[in-house]
């Protein structure tokens, strides 16, 4: 491809591409997002290619098969969407490809059995499914639509239009002003106003001339989160465009995208995107004839969670040990090689082109005051529709979990939602009566609560409301729990993760998380005194106050919030030696209710210990001395006769 | 600390524990406190090396207007009108917990025991994994070896709870000049016990210009 010398040539290329495109040409979009790939979407895509070839379409109607990024509806993986028929097929297997090609592409009919079905309704188009209907896709608009390996696709979808606008119509000062006015806040966790960060770096550079750097943080390490991954894999040019605009605003000539090596597809797609942008002259010297130089480089992380912390990440790029440093000085003043460095999450960067393209006003209208725009969440856990969800800021927790998520599967009850990854708080779905001292501005670390809705499911999901509820926005993980999840056990899980990922530099984090885990381990065995809950709270506070970086400083959040909202559950473990959720193995016993048991023998066959006995059609019994409390019987029992106590 | 010439720049006026103190631009809160004979306990601070902020015993509560924050004093510079409290409840809470956990993780050190007793911590509720352990992984030995001696014979190995003081590639290091700085600077005496594991073969050092 020829190098583009100015904005006019870019628009001419876009117009040529648009003309070459036939809107009637059928397009098959196979989702190759993380969820679908795990379910064999690559085989589905291959099957489609073979089926199309076998059909011998005429050249004009030859269907285009696109391997796209994440479509979002991961619980129905693998997903295949057809345009212009506007059909969405779910749970597609390689064997289905031929049928879809024959029915839909040749005859224009839908394959009924592969359409999404819910409560007896069949949905033909993705737009009608409640999961998609309630969302507002801005950042994810092109993810799942374009082929991320072709810059032509991105250009057709409007990529680099905002860059042209910034370079030709706006001064760097105006770009920073627009971003400031838009109210964009960092999507990586802290929620720091992006415009203010840029301004700080620019002011510092004006006083101390020299190089400035730009970093895109794609080191997404939270368990169960894949927002950044979806953007980097599905629409890498959005990240690139945002970073070039940011570089223009603060006058940087070199940028880095830090991606963890566990995301090989993201690394590949970004590398290809950078190559293509460079070939077109959108990166490198004299971008679009504006005289502005900027280039990007990928820096691969070795998979340390702590390297998502900005100072540790910068240390890692420089080749030092990935350990955080005390701030101030902030990276915006002294970052890479002691020069001002703007470090933003890749989702934040992907927001920038939309703000520049459509204006600050449009962006502020999307969310609520102080939290503008949209946010991507990865909705996972005990919810029917898991996947990637993009909603305007301020959407209530209830809307996300119940309407988009479709509620808890089966007869179980919602218990809580954990937002913000392993360092986020656990928010109960229905607010329980709290003891009066807990309703006051809390002694221990939790922010004084201003207004909280009587039911936390009415809690608007934005930066400030989540902070008030004791949690954080984080990078956007959202884990739904039902009444079979024990908060003590969940706390142990997250603490174990964070303790393993702690860098070990400061004592409150290295020893404190270990100490907190020991408290919880004791509780889960039914040991300890009620006073130990207060002791644990005090230790958690010491970790919050004492820890060096954000990892340690927020690590006690799950424990602090679960003590605040679920103290009765802690007391049940300690006083009654019972685990109300039936999870903590030392405190539970399985037994079979002889009244309910129909003697189907399913449990006996699934028991790994072989400790369930009973004759066919007669009530069974569990030998509790041999039982390892794995719960296999509970999961298979068709009549819910297995009881946990 | 790069203290400018007196008179070149203004002093920074702030308060520690209610006492009005003055700091030179570039001083940290801890340095100002020491200058004014106000005691703040430390383990990983030493004037010979760059402050690292690992032990977190030097935390103080800093109030500016209505905002209060617990921060380390060894790395944070004061700002005018800041009110610093070196022994507030929140500060003592951090120190007590850190010391109680240190009692469990390095029980063999008399210095830690003494410091803990100052804060009323005489016993620990946490399990003792190695009764012989003295090292608190404060990094002073690594820092002095790198910054002052300039040979990098010491480093940290592994990460998080398994973090260990080690030599590069875990073999006795021939770069070691046997100066003993690491053993001198060690706040708990742990380095004295392992200096022989660090030192390489002294006879091989002739080729490196360290011959006697």
Position B158 pLDDT exceeds 90: no
Interchain CB distance below 8 Å, B161 and A541? no
Find the CB nearest A508 among B52, B98, B161. Answer: B98
Q: Give the nearest chain A residue to B76 (CA atoms).
A: A328
Residues of chain A contacting residue B91, judged by C-beta atoms under 8 Å apart: 545
Task: Classify residue A598 as exposed, middle or buried by CB count within 10 Å of its CB (0-12, 13-18, 19+).
Answer: middle
The answer to whether residues A52 and A62 touch, using CB atoms and an 8 Å cutoff, is yes
DSSP assignment of B23-52, as one string?
A: E-TT--HHHHHHHTT-----SS--TTS---
Please check whether residue A386 is in contact with residue A70, taking contact to mean a CB–CB distance below 8 angstroms: no
3-state secondary structure B170-208: HCCECCCCCCCHHHHHCCCCHHHHHHHHHECCHHHHHHH
Q: What is the pLDDT of residue B143?
A: 93
**Do the chains contact at A502 and B161, CB–CB below 8 Å?**
yes
Percent of chain A beyond pLDDT 90?
A: 53
Question: Across all residues in chain A, what is the average pLDDT?
Answer: 88
- What secondary structure does DSSP assign to B63-111, as a single string? EETTEEEEEETTTPPP-TT-EEESS-HHHHHHHHHHHHHHHHHSTT-HH
Residue of A515, A528, A555 best to disrupt the B interface, most CBs of B under 10 A:
A515
Q: Considering only CB atoms, which chain A residues are within 8 Å of B64? A: none
Report the CATH number of the A589-644 domain.
3.30.70.20
pLDDT value at A443 more than 50: no
pLDDT, position A435: 53
C-beta atoms of B90 and A541 within 8 A: yes
Dump pLDDT digits (tens) for A171-229. 999 999 999 999 999 998 788 999 999 999 999 998 889 899 999 999 988 888 899 99
CATH number of A24-129: 3.40.30.10
Residue A447 pLDDT > 50, yes or no? no
A379 band by pLDDT with thresholds 50, 70 and 90: very high
pLDDT at B210: 46
Contact B93 A541 (CB under 8 A): yes
Nearest to A551 by CA among A505, A609, A607: A505
- Please state the domain extents for chain A: 24-129, 151-366, 374-575, 589-644
Query: CB of B159 within 8 Å of any CB in chain A?
Result: yes
pLDDT higher than threshold 50 for residue B23: yes
Among A25-34, A210-219, A429-438, the minimum mean pLDDT is found in A429-438
A287: pLDDT strictly greater than 70: yes
Q: CB-based contact (8 Å) between B160 and chain A?
A: yes
Mean pLDDT of A428-433: 70
Torsion from C-alpha of A624, A628, A634, A635, nearest 10 degrees: -160
Read off the pLDDT of each residue in A156-184 and give the average, rounded to a whole number.
93
Q: Is A64 helix (H, G, I), strand (E, B) or coil?
A: strand
Q: Do B163 and A512 touch (CB under 8 A)?
A: no
CA B209 to chain centre: 32
A-B interface: how many C-beta pairs under 8 angstroms? 93
Question: Mean per-residue pLDDT for A10-25?
Answer: 89
Q: Which of A500, A517, A542 to mutate to test the interface with B (most CBs of B within 10 A)?
A: A542
Mean pLDDT of A78-89: 90
- What is the torsion angle, in degrees rounded to the nearest 10, for the CA atoms of residue A107, residue A113, residue A115 and residue A121? 120
Ramachandran bin of A388, using left for φ above 0, alpha for ψ from -120 to 50, beta for the remaining angles: beta
Q: Would you call B164 an interface residue with chain A, using a CB distance cutoff of 8 Å? A: no
- Residues A365-379 as b or e (16 or more Cβ within 10 Å = b): ebbbeebbbbbbbbb
Is the pLDDT at A453 greater than 60? The verdict is no
CB-side exposure of B100: number of CA atoms within 13 Å? Answer: 22
Tell me what the mean pLDDT of segment A437-449 comes to: 42
Return the H-helix or E-strand segment holding A464: helix A463-468
CA-closest candidate to residue B125, choices A518, A543, A573, A511: A518
Indicate if the pLDDT at residue A107 is higher than 90.
no
- Alpha-carbon distance B14 to nearest alpha carbon in chain A (angstroms): 19
What angle separates helix A236-250 from helix A172-182, to the nearest 10 degrees? 120
Tell me, what's the pLDDT at A451?
45
Confidence of residue A342 (pLDDT cuts 50, 70, 90): very high
Residue ranges of A 472-511 with Cβ closer than 8 A to chain B = 499-508, 510-511
Q: Residue A304's pLDDT band (boundaries 50, 70, 90)?
A: confident
ipTM above 0.85, yes or no: yes
Q: What is residue A450's predicted lDDT score, i.e. its pLDDT?
A: 40
pLDDT, position A300: 93
Chain A positions touching B101 (Cβ under 8 A) are: 507, 511-512, 514-515
Average pLDDT estimate for B128-156: 91
Chain segment A589-640, per-residue pLDDT in tens: 888 888 888 888 888 888 998 889 888 888 898 888 888 888 888 888 888 8
Looking at the domain B12-87, which fold is it?
Answer: Ubiquitin-like (UB roll) (3.10.20)
All residues of chain A having their beta carbon less than 8 Å from the beta carbon of residue B162 are: 504
Contact status, residue A45 vs residue A94, Cβ threshold 8 Å:
no
Distances (CA, A) of B176 to A429, B44, B136, B164, B188: 60, 22, 22, 18, 21
B56 touches chain A (CB under 8 A): yes
B102 vs A contacts (CB less than 8 Å): 507, 511
Fold topology of A374-575: Ubiquitin-like (UB roll) (3.10.20)
Ordered by start, the domain boundaries in chain B are 12-87, 140-208
Residue A105 has pLDDT above 80, yes or no: yes
- Of the residues B99, B158, B161, B187, the best mutation for testing chain A's interface (the one with the most A CB atoms within 10 Å of its CB) is B161
Going through A284-368 in order, the beta strands assigned E by DSSP cover: 295-301, 341-345
The least confident of A378-387, A433-442, A538-547 is A433-442
The pLDDT tens digits for A547-584 are 998 888 889 989 998 898 888 899 999 999 988 888 88
Quickly state the pLDDT bin for A413 (edges 50, 70, 90): confident
Write out chain A residues lying below 8 Å of B115, CB-based.
Answer: none
B55 at interface of A, judged by CB pairs closer than 8 A: yes
From residue A392, alpha-carbon distances to A362, A368, A399 in Å are 12, 8, 11
Going A237 to A243 to A248 to A254, the CA torsion angle's sign is negative
- When pLDDT is cut at 50, 70 and 90, the band that residue A272 belongs to is very high
Cα-Cα-Cα-Cα torsion A177, A183, A184, A187, nearest 10 degrees, comes to 150
Average of per-residue pLDDT across B71-93: 91
Point out the residue among A304, A507, A542 whose CB comes nearest to the CB of B93: A542
Query: Span A23-35, mean pLDDT?
Result: 90
pLDDT at A374 > cutoff 90: yes
CB of B67 within 8 Å of a chain A CB? The answer is: no
**What CATH number does the domain located at A151-366 have?**
3.40.50.11540
Please, which pLDDT band fits residue A449 given cuts at 50, 70 and 90?
A: very low
> In angstroms, rounded to a whole number, what is the distance separating the alpha carbons of residues A419 and A35?
20
pLDDT at residue A433 tops 90:
no
Cα distance between residue B14 and residue B63, in whole Å: 11
Contact A631, A640 (CB under 8 A): no
- On the question of a cis peptide bond just before residue A84, with omega within 30 degrees of 0, the verdict is yes
Long-range CB contact pairs, A126-130, < 8 A, 24+: A126/A71, A126/A73, A126/A81, A126/A86, A126/A88, A127/A86, A129/A73, A129/A88, A130/A403, A130/A404, A130/A406
Residue A236: which H helix or E strand, with range?
A: helix A236-250
């Amino acid at each position: 491809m020829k190098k583009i010398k100015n904005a006019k040539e870019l628009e001419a290329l876009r117009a040529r591409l648009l003309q070459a495109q036939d809107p009637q040409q059928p397009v098959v979009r196979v989702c190759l997002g993380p969820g679908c790939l795990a379910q064999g979407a690559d085989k589905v895509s291959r099957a489609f290619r073979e089926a199309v070839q076998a059909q011998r379409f005429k050249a004009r109607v030859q269907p285009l098969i696109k391997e796209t990024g994440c479509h979002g509806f991961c619980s129905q993986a693998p997903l295949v969407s057809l345009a212009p028929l506007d059909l969405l097929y779910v749970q597609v297997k390689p064997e289905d490809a031929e049928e879809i090609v024959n029915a839909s592409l040749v005859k224009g009919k839908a394959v009924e059995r592969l359409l999404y079905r819910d409560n007896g309704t069949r949905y033909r188009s993705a737009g009608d499914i409640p999961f998609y209907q309630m969302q507002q896709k801005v950042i994810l608009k092109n993810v799942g639509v374009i082929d991320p390996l072709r810059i032509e696709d991105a250009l057709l979808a409007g990529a680099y239009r905002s860059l042209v606008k910034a370079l030709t119509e706006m001064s760097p000062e105006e770009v920073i002003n627009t971003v400031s006015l838009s109210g964009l806040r960092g999507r990586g966790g802290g929620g720091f106003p992006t415009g203010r960060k840029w301004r700080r770096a620019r002011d510092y550079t004006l006083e101390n001339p020299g190089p400035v750097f730009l970093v895109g943080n794609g080191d997404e390490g939270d368990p169960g989160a894949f927002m950044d991954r979806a953007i980097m894999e599905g629409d890498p040019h959005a990240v690139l465009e945002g970073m070039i605009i940011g570089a223009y605003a603060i006058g940087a000539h070199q940028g880095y995208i830090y991606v963890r090596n566990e995301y090989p597809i993201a690394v590949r797609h970004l590398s290809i995107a950078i190559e293509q942008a460079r070939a077109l002259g959108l990166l490198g010297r004299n971008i679009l004839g504006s005289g502005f130089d900027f280039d990007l480089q990928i820096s691969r992380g070795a998979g340390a969670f702590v390297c998502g912390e900005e100072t540790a990440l910068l240390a890692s790029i420089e080749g030092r040990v990935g350990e955080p440093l005390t701030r101030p000085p902030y990276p915006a003043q002294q970052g890479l090689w002691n020069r001002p460095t703007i470090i933003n999450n890749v989702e934040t960067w992907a927001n920038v082109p939309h703000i520049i393209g459509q204006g600050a006003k449009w962006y502020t209208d999307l969310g609520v005051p102080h939290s503008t725009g949209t946010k991507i969440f990865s909705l996972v856990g005990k919810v029917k529709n898991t996947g990637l969800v993009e909603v305007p800021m301020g959407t209530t927790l209830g809307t996300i979990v119940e309407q988009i998520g479709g509620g808890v599967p089966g007869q179980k009850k919602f218990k809580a939602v954990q937002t913000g990854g392993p360092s986020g708080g656990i928010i109960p779905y229905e607010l329980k009566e709290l003891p009066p001292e807990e309703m006051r501005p809390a002694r221990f670390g939790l922010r004084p609560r201003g207004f909280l809705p009587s039911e936390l499911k009415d809690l608007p999901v934005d930066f400030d409301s989540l902070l008030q509820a004791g949690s954080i926005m984080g990078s956007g993980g959202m884990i739904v729990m039902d009444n079979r999840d024990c908060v003590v056990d969940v706390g142990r899980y997250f603490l174990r993760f964070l303790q393993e990922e702690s860098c070990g530099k400061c004592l409150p984090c290295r020893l404190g998380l270990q100490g907190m885990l020991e408290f919880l381990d004791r509780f889960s065995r039914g040991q300890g005194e009620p006073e130990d809950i207060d002791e644990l709270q005090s230790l958690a506070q010491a970790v919050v106050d004492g820890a060096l970086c954000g990892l340690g400083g927020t690590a006690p959040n799950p424990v602090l919030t679960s003590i605040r909202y679920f103290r009765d559950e802690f007391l049940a473990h300690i006083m009654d030696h019972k685990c109300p959720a039936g999870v903590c193995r030392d405190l539970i016993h399985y037994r079979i209710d002889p009244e309910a048991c129909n003697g189907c023998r399913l449990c006996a066959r699934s028991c790994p210990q072989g400790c369930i006995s009973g004759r066919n059609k007669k009530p069974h019994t569990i030998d509790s001395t041999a039982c390892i409390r794995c719960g296999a019987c509970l999961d298979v029992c068709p009549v819910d006769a297995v009881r946990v106590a | 600390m790069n203290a400018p010439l007196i008179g070149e720049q203004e002093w920074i006026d702030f308060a520690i524990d209610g006492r009005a103190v003055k700091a030179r631009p570039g001083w940290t809160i801890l340095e100002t406190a020491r200058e004014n004979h106000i005691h703040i306990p430390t383990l990983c601070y030493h004037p010979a090396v760059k402050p690292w902020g690992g032990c977190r015993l030097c935390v103080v509560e800093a109030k500016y207007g209505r905002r209060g924050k617990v921060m380390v004093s060894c790395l944070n510079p004061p700002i005018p009108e800041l009110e610093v409290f070196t022994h507030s409840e929140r500060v003592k809470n951090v120190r007590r917990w850190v010391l109680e956990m240190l009692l469990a993780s390095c029980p063999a050190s008399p210095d830690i025991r003494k410091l803990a007793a100052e804060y009323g911590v005489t016993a620990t509720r946490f399990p003792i994994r190695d009764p012989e352990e003295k090292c608190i992984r404060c990094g002073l030995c690594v820092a002095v070896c790198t910054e002052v001696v300039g040979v990098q014979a010491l480093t940290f190995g592994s990460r998080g709870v398994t973090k260990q003081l080690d030599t590069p590639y875990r073999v006795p290091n021939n770069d070691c000049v046997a100066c003993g700085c690491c053993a001198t600077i060690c706040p708990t005496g742990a380095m004295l016990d392992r200096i022989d594991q660090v030192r390489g073969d002294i006879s091989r050092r002739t080729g490196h210009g360290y011959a006697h």
